[in-house]
Amino acid sequence: MTDSVVNRRRARTLFALIAVSVLIVDVLTKIAAVAWLRPAEPVPVLGDLLRLYLIRNPGAAFSIGEGATWVFTILAVVVLAFLLIAVVPGLRHRGWAVGLGLVVAGISGNLGDRLFRTPGFARGHVVDFLQLPYWPIFNVADMAVVFGAGTIVFCWLVKGVGHDGVLESEREDAKRVEQEAKETAGE
């Protein structure tokens, strides 16, 4: 186990705080973008480095799958349900709690757009408004998914720890001992 392991209640509380806070920021920034920005009229924030540029995105990043908004809606619901039902209940690691909180907030923010924005239920277009050079226009939810996924990958692949706080090397050792015990009992 690592020093970032906490009890389940604390991990789930951290997860919930991150998820709800980031979701609120995403929703508020989208409301502000729709209220204050006009499509096709970019507003420079940091010169050409960062501009506010309102678009309604029916697809995914780089506007991939523009005609399949309903597919992204279904996929988001399935992934969100999997994370909330299968992963979050066993959560015991701070890094994973932060990463999953960010991912769930991001998925939820864009799913809310797909469910409730025009042109209609489960076909709504996502509000994007942040533009960097040579990058697709994005929003807070998109940033949350990217940073959350990066945090999870770091915890899992670099630190070698699962969402439950168990080091993958310890998990493999336990499986090997269990297998050896089965083999010995079977002889």
Catalytically annotated residues: 128, 142
Q: Are 163 and 100 spatial neighbours (Cβ–Cβ below 8 Å)?
A: yes
Sign of CA dihedral 88, 125, 65, 129: negative
Structure tokens at 151: 């945090």
CA distance 124 to 116: 6
The DSSP element (H or E) to which 142 belongs, if any, is helix 140-153
Exposed e or buried b for every residue in 6-43, given b needs 16+ CB within 10 A? beeeebbebbeebbeebbebbbebbeebeeebeeeebe
Q: Are 114 and 186 spatial neighbours (Cβ–Cβ below 8 Å)?
A: no
CA distance 84 to 66: 27
